[in-house]
Chains A and B, each alone.
Chain A
């Protein structure tokens, strides 16, 4: 009797005991900082008089003031639009190339596949800041070998760090660094497709191109959704590339992307309160956009299944 009771008690408590470490770590290193950021975003500093000396500054309740300031700030909106423009180039090009490379690597006729795979993947292993510096040097007319060659050939030398070309220049860094990672994700799921499917396709007389378009792409659709999801988040959070290029040109302002504005508010002008509010807004928009996309993708899948 007693042993049975003890046993049932142990079984009941076990899930909570196992959950506890994760829950504690989650609370301490995730929920608590987020809660603190929320708390900060609802406060502001109030200065008295000249604001010099002790007790001149105190933290007061601000309500939603930081949020309204942030949302009505045209610089944040412009930053968001700039990032959208940047994302409109990066995401299609990067994922398009990743899919193309993955499909090409998956064909039977490809040679040196492991080497090619590694070569395409390698830029992903280079830290973003290093990549941005590397490309930044290549974009600067006075030190770039490309410009040297263009000059020798008498060809026009466009300024890549200004206006429209700046978006291409920034996108290029992201595409160069991100294609390999996305390719590996898609390629892995391509390898997971059972060979019977291909045999059946071959027996039905499908060409490699038809196999790719009609079988491979639909079957890796979940991976495409996943890579798209990651790419949206990465785009909305773009920070290191424009920050690294900023000192090289007058065209990238300190608030070029929304995240740069958060950094600038928090660490250059010392206003952590409005920085916290902007950060919360960015997090919410990211959440909405990425989950909105996931839902849309899921409902489409379900519709297709129903058909």
Chain B
């Protein structure tokens, strides 16, 4: 009996000690770099780009060694989840010094006071980027909240061999695109030109952007939401019509079924962005060398614009104790030729700086597009035509509503215009609920 009691006591005290240790671990992560901007500095960087640690090593061994700035990369999940994670860390005043953020997430992060204004640290950097790209990091103010890293100009991808087989022309306008879809249905009823997918809002946002939509704008101290403006309505009606008449498929992208459709030629085109070769390599491995890239179809023959889908920037957080050191690294990472070449090689990104888009790293086409030697020359020309984008503080709300409203509209082949209206209404309602002033 006493023996059992003793054992139990030991067990309990072990449990308590473990609990206490866990608590101590929670509380004692105080920053070692409180000496601020003098002497050696170490920075943490949250990024999802593969191989970013290798690029940071280049810095740590070169420029960083001179400036006594060491950068440690912590690999993260991409997109929305990272935004939440940054905001949570920021709430505890423990956000890392540097974060990777998609352009459309910047207003949300800025509105939560998570990103520092680094305008004073980045003189002359602006000229290295296309106007439409840089403007996304300033949110229309004098501040600079991030430095552009990669961009995702949209393009039209198609199966060159199957277009020849079905005797189809590469569409120059969206009208021709619709005709192509119908012509293909007539020739081969089981084959679709492409699908309208409701699971990636970025695609629709990019298409609306190409049509001239401005989803979030400011008027004095008020936000104006234009998700159901004429340009977006045009895009929604166009795709809604194609889905309704059955000219294109209505199933989501990135599913095993979608991979198979691309791999077997059941879907023969994809409206995508510059990063598509990477996705196609894994989704449709058997079709290597059979695809070609062309500019996105236009709304009128005289136009030459594209939207952007994806792309991200490097930002310095307000929690960083070494903001100018962090800004220095962010500038190096996104403008230094050596860094950009490494980023392109290790991370497979398409850089936002205009000079890097035609640099040595981009003389060869992606391996999957070996049949199109001028892939990157063409891409950089298309990138120059990117329409400006307009993001607001609740893109995440608009995007989730898009998933649900357009998901069910695509499923039921019902009115896409109504889905767009839902998206507008929910976005406005959320802004008002948070206390933003909204212009009607």
Seen from chain A, the residues whose Cβ lies within 8 Å of a Cβ on chain B are 18, 21-22, 24-25, 28-29, 45-57, 137, 140-143, 162, 247-251, 253-255, 264, 266-270
Contacts and interface: CB of A to CB of B under 8 A. Distances in A.
A56 B257 contact: no
A267 B436 contact: no
Nearest to B395: A269
B107 A54 contact: no
Interface stretch (B38-46, B78-86, B297-305, B309-317): B78-86
26 contacts: A21-B15, A21-B16, A21-B19, A22-B12, A45-B435, A47-B436, A50-B222, A50-B436, A53-B117, A53-B143, A56-B113, A137-B256, A140-B257, A162-B411, A248-B256, A249-B411, A251-B411, A253-B403, A267-B80, A267-B84, A268-B84, A269-B396, A269-B397, A270-B84, A270-B87, A270-B108
Given A140-B255, A142-B261, A269 B394 contact: yes
A9 B110 CA distance: 60
A47 B83 contact: no
Nearest to A51: B111
Interface of B: 12-13, 15-16, 19, 23, 80-81, 83-84, 87, 107-108, 110-113, 117, 139, 141, 143, 198-199, 218, 221-223, 250-252, 254-257, 260-261, 318, 393-394, 396-397, 400, 403-404, 407-408, 410-411, 430, 434-437
Contacts of B393: 47, 51-52
Given A45-B435, A253-B407, 14 more contacts: A21-B12, A25-B16, A28-B19, A49-B437, A51-B436, A52-B393, A53-B113, A55-B113, A143-B260, A250-B251, A251-B408, A254-B404, A267-B84, A269-B430
Most buried by B among A21, A51, A53, A264: A51
B101 to A, nearest CB: 14
B252 A249 contact: yes
A54 B145 CA distance: 13
B108 A247 contact: no
Contact of A250 (B12, B23, B111, B410): B410
A234 to B, nearest CB: 25
Contacts of B143: 53
A268 B198 contact: no
Nearest to B399: A268
Contacts of B87: 270
Contacts of A248: 252, 255-257
Contact of B113 (A57, A141, A268): A57
B44 to A, nearest CB: 22
The 9 closest A-B pairs by CB, nearest first: A142-B257, A250-B411, A250-B407, A47-B435, A51-B111, A253-B404, A49-B221, A46-B435, A21-B16
Contacts of B108: 270
B407 A57 contact: no
Contacts of B110: 52-53
Contact of B408 (A29, A50, A250, A269): A250
B111 A47 contact: yes
Nearest to A253: B404
A267 B84 CA distance: 6
B268 to A, nearest CB: 16
Nearest to B15: A21
Contact of A56 (B13, B111, B411): B111
A54 B113 contact: yes
Nearest to A137: B256
B318 A143 contact: no
B113 A25 contact: no
A162 B84 CA distance: 31
Nearest to A133: B256
Contacts of B107: 52
Most buried by B among A54, A56, A57, A269: A269
A271 to B, nearest CB: 8
A53 B116 CA distance: 9
A205 B186 CA distance: 74
Contacts of B435: 45-48, 51
Contacts of B252: 247-250
B408 A253 contact: yes
Given A57-B113, A250-B198, A254-B404, A47 B434 contact: yes
A223 to B, nearest CB: 29
Contacts of B23: 28
A236 B75 CA distance: 35
B434 A52 contact: no
B218 A268 contact: no
B404 A255 contact: yes
A9 B218 CA distance: 72
A294 to B, nearest CB: 30
Nearest to B410: A250
Contacts of A25: 15-16, 19
Nearest to A142: B257
A299 B23 CA distance: 44
Contacts of B111: 47, 51-52, 56-57
B112 A57 contact: yes
B437 to A, nearest CB: 7
A143 B257 CA distance: 6
A210 to B, nearest CB: 46
Contacts of B13: 21
Given A50-B221, A162-B411, A267 B81 contact: yes
B19 A24 contact: yes
Most buried by A among B108, B143, B218, B435: B435
Most buried by A among B13, B250, B434: B434
A137 B410 CA distance: 21
B54 to A, nearest CB: 30
Nearest to B80: A268
A253 B252 CA distance: 13
